[in-house]
Structure 1
């Protein structure tokens, strides 16, 4: 059965609102919750970008059973991988084993702030590979010294660790990244419902098999609102960047860049890509593309902070029931 998650969007909600949403989403019946880890919103209209790790610490204390995850953290520039390992281990302890560390090669939007430039995709993937090696080693609880091409670690050790190592989920986008990171990861993260991602992952020697312990975790924006026109307008205002695709989104450095790149995206273009309005069947249809592609988990994004409370109160319950009725049973 596909697991349905809720996305805590640091770009569109302030930190106190995110903590409230986390508790509310657990009560509504979501299976897991993911949190974006950004320094900038995508567009200025979203208006927020709090520090995900502080918020996750609070979320771990107001929730009891939902799994938690970063979707995703970039451990290559803004954060050193040794520090990411410490943060993740601490969340693992605070959440009593409910935390998964989602990792990816990042976006210029968030990483440029430390003034180290923006490497090519090949360099970023090399850096991510080294970062995962460091994080894995530190999760063992032993003293770690590492001398790589991109990172050095000098006699580091994590002193507070959960009972079991924090699982790692890595964002992949094509055959090259799948083959590189599947053997280093516990789970797959994919932003599009592409069957080839899952099929390729399951064919890589040494990779944990999706559907047999490993998860394939996707994400889908929706804009629920009783008024469809209001939903389309809100999605266009705050989420039209989604139309650019990740090949573009990963390289743009500022919210002004995203505004410029999306200036000709029309409201109807956004509505073609994001289910908008009160029609829950449209959401089920959009989510079904993920389970048909072999994904085991899908995290929904409710676009717009102003409607999250009503969405969780009025729509989440019926939507979760419809999704669980429609989802295929586990083999």
Structure 2
């Protein structure tokens, strides 16, 4: 969707009773059919200003497309302008966004090592330190001149048990995406068992329409490119390529990655199950282009059935 339409949608969502929001920092969409991919940081500033209380998060991959000092500056500025309302989830990235630098696409172990360097650099800058660093990324005497009183949290992004356990070493919380309940339990258990602290966030992909066939057709049209797990989702580098490899994905296959139903009661039950698993924040992502109808429907029929709370102010580990 165009950024202006997404801005209107998040304002409508707050008015409908939603209490948190997030976005992903992509350079390109997952499919040509999705058609838009605005600059996340511009949108975040506008969205924080346009809403009253909703906290926002962003999933970002520092180290290739972005220098970590620039991400630290972006985090620090939003944190200073909107205290307690912003967090950043950091991951190792996807080729579809990072290949634009022309620098090649490193192996996963190298990307993780690079991310770990970036995390330490960003934290030091947010503490007010002058940072110089020589490694997989290079920093020369960087210092943030605008910083929040309390650094925003840096959340670990993980879709596997191994990555979740690794995130426990450095993250202020964890975010993952919807998967079978057994897999979600393994991911959260891996994080907690490794000493991971802070809130657990879940991004849920869903499709709703008054008619079941319409809900499934919408999900198939917009999200069939996202059924491919790692390493394909990490390594494919063009929207056109995602479309090509997804040409024969069936609508029923999409149901494995998207909660599809015309029944608002079913959506309520799914969300209640996630809450009972221990997720502190469940972010709903309707995969369709049109946002108003589902926001209104969930705001009037789903949210009142759930124990919806306002998140505590976002802050990093001491």
8 Å contact from structure 2 (residues 156, 164) kept in 1: no
- 1:318 corresponds to which of 298, 301, 305: 301
Residues 302-313 of structure 1: matches in 2 within 5 Å? 302-306=286-290, 308-313=291-296
- 2:252 corresponds to which of 248, 268, 274: 268
- 1:56 corresponds to which of 23, 33, 44: 44
8 Å contact from structure 1 (residues 40, 255) kept in 2: yes
TM-score (norm: length of structure 1): 0.87
Q: What residue number does 2:271 align with?
A: 287
- 1:184 corresponds to which of 166, 170, 178: 170
Q: What residue number does 2:116 align with?
A: 129
Q: What residue number does 1:171 align with?
A: 157
Residues 1-331 of structure 1: matches in 2 within 5 Å? 13-70=1-58, 72-147=59-134, 149-191=135-177, 192=179, 193=181, 194-205=184-195, 207-208=196-197, 214-271=198-255, 273-306=257-290, 308-324=291-307
Query: How many residues are aligned here?
Result: 304
Secondary structure at the residue paired with 2:132? strand
Cα distance change on mapping 1:310 and 1:176 into 2, 3 Å? closer
| C-alpha separation in 1, matches of 2:145 and 2:71 | 14
- Structure 1 unaligned regions, length at least 5: 1-12, 209-213, 326-331
Secondary structure at the residue paired with 1:42? coil
Q: CA RMSD in A?
A: 1.7
Cα distance change on mapping 1:87 and 1:196 into 2, 3 Å? same
- Structure 2 unaligned regions, length at least 5: 309-318
Deviation at 1:273, TM superposition (A): 4.1
1:95-132 alpha-carbon deviations (Å, 9 max, x no partner): 22200011111111111111111111101100010000
| C-alpha separation in 2, matches of 1:179 and 1:273 | 23
Secondary structure at the residue paired with 1:30? coil
8 Å contact from structure 1 (residues 195, 294) kept in 2: no
| C-alpha separation in 2, matches of 1:38 and 1:81 | 16
| C-alpha separation in 2, matches of 1:39 and 1:302 | 20
Q: What residue number does 2:316 align with?
A: none
| C-alpha separation in 1, matches of 2:160 and 2:261 | 32
Deviation at 1:262, TM superposition (A): 1.2
Deviation at 1:260, TM superposition (A): 1.8
Cα distance change on mapping 1:64 and 1:231 into 2, 3 Å? same
| C-alpha separation in 2, matches of 1:252 and 1:136 | 30
8 Å contact from structure 1 (residues 97, 163) kept in 2: no
| C-alpha separation in 1, matches of 2:231 and 2:268 | 27
1:174-231 alpha-carbon deviations (Å, 9 max, x no partner): 34323332121101111245212222222224x42xxxxx111111111111122222
Cα distance change on mapping 1:174 and 1:138 into 2, 3 Å? same
Deviation at 1:272, TM superposition (A): 5.1
